[in-house]
Chain A
């Protein structure tokens, strides 16, 4: 079947050689590493991995641990908010920058620069800014608004939003760049046509431009979502998971279990659960994305 055309095999051979690193990485590292992780999640490995099977005990304990449940809840809140606000802020900033403004280069650099700074200090600086005694709250109060209340880090109910503010500060610049690029790819004629037809600008964005930017949104969503699932450093730097366990996240649970509690099995069980949920989301998406559409044989 595949040898219907004589040079098909040769052509694909070259592509396969070029894709060999990807095939190796996907199978040996990602699939292999995942299989390894899943296998050891059924063991009671402590400090060192060892094949001492305990069935589903790690999973039973995982779902009975308050900290894991809090982590999952936080990931949902943080993930949904972060996704929505990153896209929203990123898109709005990009749209603003796209209005033939002056100093575009300066503004873009200002919005992008936090991306280059280490999480440890990002967390520290936001700790200070959000501190009620000497941070933003204190400054606004000293301006005369005595009742101004802005104290997210020390309130277990809203601490995750405090982390969110810092995360958006760090990550929206890159989203903005992707969005701006997407906007620049929209044909000028479309804007002209919309103006001629008298369609208001917001409608043009909402019903014409955004649907055209679908691929940009997909690239951006994958980028943001993978960052959300792996979020770890920022939480450690800003709150260490506190107050109490109120700002714990799954990746931190995995890391703490593996290296602080010396319970590798538990860490692997937690990461298996994380991966499982990612797979549940990605597989249908990949099917829709790749199904049917084919180019160049």
Chain B
């Protein structure tokens, strides 16, 4: 029964944390047109121009025809708006024999991304939990190796991993690809989860121990419910990374399971052929939409999650 007590404490502190994080800090706002506000919004506006300028160029280019693009005025608004490049990028652009544009690899990408994101998060969260709360001898050694691993250029690991997957009988399979994404996502995610779990108040942990909760009990009853935000953070980092992956997709998968980025690359990266800039831009924006939607959908949680995760190392 004391277990319930512990969970109640948990809920209370989650609420407290949520309250604490709900509002921004800093000085209180004053009059609308104070010098401070002019400076504040001015700075934000200039920063926003820097971030938006490339997007503006991309969008404008994507609705121009090729003859207009050849004139070379990248900032001018389109004289004639055409959505043909968008249609082409999504549905009719040819790569080799297949003229289905990006739509061809869309479901493959979903099939790769969903299990990879789930598996990598489950595993990294357990790793982080064990590292933060259940230290065992040598744990930090493995963790250090893992952090060093975050710095290895992926390309160097291609062949050793081919050999590994071959020996495991997983080469060329979706399972193999999911495993590779899990492995390369592990260093940063483990760091994120480890820091988060060690910031959970020690009292909660001790109370649960006194109540007789074990490793898995504490993970499922305390850590998991308390750390939904960090799971969202991890999801956002992984969705972005895996959705945009090209290298692992082509090296470890087969043509019928190639992700959407292979088509994206085929549309925008031909070396000798004619470049269709408008289709390139449209294809890029389309491919970026999925991570973008994830950002929008979980924007608030993203910030709150990292707050708790990174605050206390």
The answer to whether A and B come from one shared complex is yes
A201-B40 Cα distance, complex, nearest whole Å: 14
Contact with B along A239-283 (1 / 0, CB 8 A): 000000000000100110011000010011001001100110011
Selecting from A57-65, A120-128, A150-158, the interface stretch reads A120-128
Distance in angstroms from A114 CB to nearest chain B CB is: 7
Partner of A22, one of B25, B151, B153, B186: B186
A169 within 8 A of B: yes
Whether the pair A93, B47 counts as a contact (CB closer than 8 A) is: yes
Whether the pair A219, B129 counts as a contact (CB closer than 8 A) is: no
Whether the pair A25, B183 counts as a contact (CB closer than 8 A) is: yes
Distance in angstroms from B297 CB to nearest chain A CB is: 11
A111 within 8 A of B: yes
A3 within 8 A of B: no
Partner of B145, one of A27, A99, A115, A230: A27
A216-B312 Cα distance, complex, nearest whole Å: 8
A53 within 8 A of B: no
A180-B307 Cα distance, complex, nearest whole Å: 8
Interchain pairs with CB closer than 8 A, number: 314
- For residues 125 through 165 of chain A, which have their beta carbon under 8 Å from a beta carbon of chain B? 125-126, 128-129, 133-135, 139
For A96, the chain B residues whose CB sits under 8 A away are 40, 43-44, 47
Distance in angstroms from A210 CB to nearest chain B CB is: 13
B257 within 8 A of A: no
Question: Chain A: interface secondary structure?
Answer: helix
For B228, the chain A residues whose CB sits under 8 A away are none
Contact with A along B138-177 (1 / 0, CB 8 A): 0110111111111111111101110010000000000000
Whether the pair A121, B308 counts as a contact (CB closer than 8 A) is: no
Partner of A121, one of B135, B198, B268: B268
Count how many chain A residues have C-beta atoms less than 8 Å from C-beta atoms of the other chain. Answer: 112
For A104, the chain B residues whose CB sits under 8 A away are 24
Whether the pair B186, A125 counts as a contact (CB closer than 8 A) is: no
Contact with B along A77-107 (1 / 0, CB 8 A): 0000000000001001101111111001101
Question: Chain B: interface secondary structure?
Answer: helix
A40-B24 Cα distance, complex, nearest whole Å: 53
Distance in angstroms from B172 CB to nearest chain A CB is: 18
For B133, the chain A residues whose CB sits under 8 A away are 295-296
Whether the pair B295, A30 counts as a contact (CB closer than 8 A) is: no
Q: Tell whether A113 pairs with B155 under 8 Å between CB atoms, given A186-B25, A222-B191, A283-B144.
A: no
Whether the pair A129, B74 counts as a contact (CB closer than 8 A) is: yes
For the complex of A and B, list the 4 residue pairs with the smallest distance between their C-beta atoms, beginning with the closest.
Answer: A215-B313, A15-B134, A181-B306, A30-B149
List chain A positions with a Cβ less than 8 A from chain B.
2, 11-12, 14-16, 18-19, 21-23, 25-34, 36-37, 49, 89, 92-93, 95-101, 104-105, 107-118, 120-122, 124-126, 128-129, 133-135, 139, 169, 173, 177-178, 180-188, 191, 195, 201, 213-216, 218-220, 222-223, 225-226, 229-230, 232, 251, 254-255, 258-259, 264, 267-268, 271, 274-275, 278-279, 282-283, 286, 289-290, 294-297
Show 11 residue pairs from A and B whose CB-CB distance is below 8 angstroms, ordered by the A residue: A15-B135, A22-B143, A25-B146, A32-B160, A96-B40, A120-B268, A120-B284, A181-B306, A201-B26, A223-B188, A283-B144
With A97-B44, A120-B268, A120-B284 given, name 17 new contacts (CB 8 A). A33-B156, A98-B25, A101-B41, A104-B24, A105-B300, A112-B295, A120-B264, A121-B58, A126-B54, A129-B74, A169-B50, A184-B24, A195-B27, A254-B155, A271-B156, A289-B313, A297-B135
